[in-house]
Amino acid sequence: MRRRDALKLLAGGAAAVSLHPLLRAAGSQPDDFFIFIHAAGGWDVTLWSDPRNERRGITEPATTATLETGALRYWRNRADSFEPLATKGHVLGPAIGGLYDLADRLTIINGIAMNTVSHPDGIAYSCTGRHRTGGTLPESSIDVLVANERGLAQMMPGVSVRFPSAFVGTHLDRRAVPLRIADVGALTHSFERSPDYLDDADRTAITAVLSEEATALARSSTHPATYEQLANQQQSLAKLLTGDFTHAFSRKQLESAYPQFNYRGRAHGKQAVVGAFAVEAIRRNVVRCVSFALGQLDTHGANYRTHGTVLQELFDLVAAIVKLLDTTPHPTSPTARLSERTHILVVSEFCRTPQLNTNGGRDHYPNNSALVISPRFRGGRSFGSTDPDQLLPLDFGKFADGARPLAPPDVLATFLGAFGINPRRYMRDGEIVKALLA
Amino acid sequence: MIRRAVLLVVAVACGRPETIEPSRAVPFGGYSELALDPTPKGHRRMVPPEVYLRAYLTWFGGLSPAQVFQKARGRKLFDQWADYLVALGLPDYAIDAPRAAQSNTVMLAAMGRLGEALCVRSVEHDLRGRPDKRAVFAFEPIANPSRDEFASRFDTLHRTFLSYPARLAPADRVDRFYALYRSVAARHASGLLSADESGWAAVCAALVQHPETGLY
């Protein structure tokens, strides 16, 4: 071997050892599960992650809308505003709901620069790390990327219930195409079959024929990927049609099995069953990622009454999921609890203005926060900051392109990096922020 | 001078019209030597879900969505369309869900349920009704058909659902579907459908979900 080659080899090995400790450490646990939540509508961060003492009742024309605090359990009156909740590592707002009890496990990222106040663009930026180009999404969403890296062996790599999932490009495995449904009940409807005509054995035979046909067509095709995708999906379908998923994932069964969720909430109501579905699907080890959206946050009036209640319901649901995961054994590592291997990311498209409008509500604003609950992240800490008066993002630190605030691509890249996934494989922008990681 | 010019113009204008004699068309050259590349230039793609559904409705007698609901409901064969919109890949503007560009397992399951429901109802309608009213199973059914007897009838279905004769398909397709027919028929000696009806329902349900039907 020439000296130059030997030096190259040595340098390459040293770089691999020094640059990728995260990748090596994370690669050792393939049975992680992921829950991605989109708080649809744009949340008011001053009510949970980045509280401000907006004075109530001073808007012109005079209104009582800002005096009503609805049913916020953690509202503590202070003169004409609320008292923020100080914990060891956070200062939280009154809409934090059930997550207050879990404050030491929350990683809150404030001061995320959104550069948009458009719902579709904010959704795209928060979930893919890229703004929309025209009407299209230029990159895949975070749930699809994680499903592509970690979920291909699962029966359902990613189930997306109203989440803005996007599968973009030809470099992803098509098994990671998200199973998009509008409601958990659609799973039951789709997998249910009449028992009066054909039976499970017939359907197994049909899916086997279709899988064989797709495989045969793939063999003779110049571009076999689409046929291979269908063959894989037919094989998964055979298992799903003959299992007891139809029963287990029915709304009735889920509500009965998981009374911890509030199925009569004013904001989300029956949609809360998606939390029960996430726990059940993970417990059964049939999914890798469950992503869902819960909305009703695009409120422009009576902020403390309406918006705060919606946020509280959302966080109660997240807290219920975490507490259930705490008591549920991991399906493939019985000595571990599910919460030790389940990672939750909650995002929204933007936040709302620091000033109340004349309806006592808040409008769209280009700042944002994100919430992570994961053993891979430093819990009990808030990162990032905003201008005290204007609620605009402040510089987080030095990035490759200089000092700037955090942005959604950084959050997503850090999330991928926490599990040993190189974000450069999928994302144009974003840097891994090691300060966020445990 | 002007007078002469005017006369010249008039003479030319009123003269005998110029005629062009017909001539033989000469083909453009070069095509015989032109190298054409007939290979596909990209992956096969899923047809838009609306097109796929329209094809379903057309195959089973030009049904409207409301007629499908009427025809397929009962005995848990199918539910309301609203339960399936996103699962079928259709856009749902109520929840801002876009049209699916890739198939997934839930979509196959939802399409499969619809296909099975329509096939079962077609078996009941066609194989038990008047021959001139048959929409899908437009052949004379016989009990326990041989491989050749099956092949000729399968060809009718193949032309309907896949738009070309079964003899042009990969060689083992008829055998594969014949095996499916026989295995299903053998399991259904009694029930709401006869053994042969069950076999044809299974063949139909497999053909409507065939990989070639939803791709272009």
**What is the structure's pLDDT at A12?**
45
Measured between beta carbons, which residues in chain B are less than 8 angstroms from residue A237? 105, 108-109, 112
User: How high is the mean pLDDT of chain B?
Assistant: 87
What gap in Å lies between CA A117 and CA A114, rounded to an integer? 8
Q: From the list B95, B104, B109, which residue is nearest A178 (CB)?
A: B104
Residue A18 predicted with pLDDT over 80:
no
Of the CA atoms within 13 Å of residue B85, those in its CB half-sphere come to 14
Q: Which residues, 6+ apart, have CB-to-CB distance to A196 below 8 Å? A: B75, B76, B191, B192
Residue A40 predicted with pLDDT over 70:
yes
Domain count, chain A: 1
Q: Both tokens of residue B213?
A: 């039907």
pLDDT, tens digit, for every residue of B78-92? 877 777 788 888 888
Record: contact B211-A230, CB cut-off 8 A: yes
Measured between beta carbons, which residues in chain A are less than 8 angstroms from residue B102? 167, 174, 177, 229
Distance from A73 to chain B by nearest Cα, in Å?
30
A227 located within any domain: no
Tell me, what CATH number does A293's domain have? Answer: 3.40.720.10
Measured between beta carbons, which residues in chain A are less than 8 angstroms from residue B202? 198, 202, 205-206
pLDDT, tens digit, for every residue of A232-249? 889 888 888 887 777 889
Q: Which residue of B has its CA nearest to A205?
A: B180
Record: contact B170-A174, CB cut-off 8 A: no
CB distance A352 to A362 below 8 Å:
yes
Distance from A298 to chain B by nearest Cα, in Å?
14
Residue A6 predicted with pLDDT over 70:
no
By the CB < 8 Å criterion, does B167 face chain A?
no
- pLDDT band for position A56 (cuts 50, 70, 90): low
Record: contact B84-A191, CB cut-off 8 A: no
Residue A26 predicted with pLDDT over 50:
no
Record: contact A197-B202, CB cut-off 8 A: no
Q: Both tokens of residue B91?
A: 């856009």
**What is the structure's pLDDT at A246?**
78
Record: contact B105-A179, CB cut-off 8 A: yes
Question: Using alpha carbons only, what angle is made at residue B42 by residues B36 and B43, rounded to the nearest 5 degrees?
Answer: 140
**What is the structure's pLDDT at A315?**
97
Per-residue pLDDT, averaged over A147-151, amounts to 94
Question: Among A230-244, A348-362, A375-389, B95-109, which range has the highest average pLDDT?
Answer: A375-389
Q: Which residues, 6+ apart, have CB-to-CB distance to A380 below 8 Å? A: A87, A88, A89, A90, A103, A104, A105, A106, A107
Record: contact A210-B109, CB cut-off 8 A: no
pLDDT, tens digit, for every residue of B131-185? 888 989 999 989 999 999 999 999 999 999 999 999 999 989 999 999 999 999 9
CB distance B215 to B40 below 8 Å:
no
**What is the structure's pLDDT at A13?**
46
Q: Which residue of B has its CA nearest to A120?
A: B96
Measured between beta carbons, which residues in chain A are less than 8 angstroms from residue B113? 189-190, 192-193
**What is the structure's pLDDT at A15?**
43
- pLDDT band for position A359 (cuts 50, 70, 90): confident
CB atoms closer than 10 angstroms to residue A285: 14
Q: Which long-range contacts (CB under 8 A, 24 or more apart) does B87-94 make?
A: B87/A180, B87/A181, B87/A182, B87/A186, B87/A187, B87/A189, B87/A190, B88/B49, B88/B53, B88/B114, B89/B46, B89/B49, B89/B52, B90/B49, B90/B50, B90/B53, B92/A182
What ipTM does the predicted assembly reach?
0.82
What residue ranges do the domains of chain B occupy?
Answer: 49-208
By the CB < 8 Å criterion, does B45 face chain A?
yes
- Residue that is written with structure tokens 């009941």 in the block: B124
Q: Which residue of B has its CA nearest to A136?
A: B98
Domain of A315 in residue numbering reads as 25-189+245-436
pLDDT, tens digit, for every residue of B108-138? 899 899 999 999 999 999 999 888 889 899 9
User: How high is the mean pLDDT of chain A?
Assistant: 88
Measured between beta carbons, which residues in chain B are less than 8 angstroms from residue A178? 104
Residue A25 predicted with pLDDT over 50:
no
User: B interface mutation test: which of A209, A227, A289 has the most B CBs within 10 A?
Assistant: A209
By the CB < 8 Å criterion, does B164 face chain A?
no
Record: contact A205-B202, CB cut-off 8 A: yes
Percentage of residues in chain B with pLDDT exceeding 70? Answer: 94
Per-residue pLDDT, averaged over A333-352, amounts to 95
Record: contact B116-A193, CB cut-off 8 A: yes
Residue A2 predicted with pLDDT over 60:
no
Distance from B69 to chain A by nearest Cα, in Å?
14
Overall residue count recorded for chain B in this entry? 216
Record: contact B209-A192, CB cut-off 8 A: no
User: B interface mutation test: which of A203, A206, A294 has the most B CBs within 10 A?
Assistant: A206
By the CB < 8 Å criterion, does B204 face chain A?
no
Per-residue pLDDT, averaged over A189-205, amounts to 90
- pLDDT band for position A19 (cuts 50, 70, 90): very low
By the CB < 8 Å criterion, does B34 face chain A?
no
Q: Both tokens of residue B96?
A: 């801002």
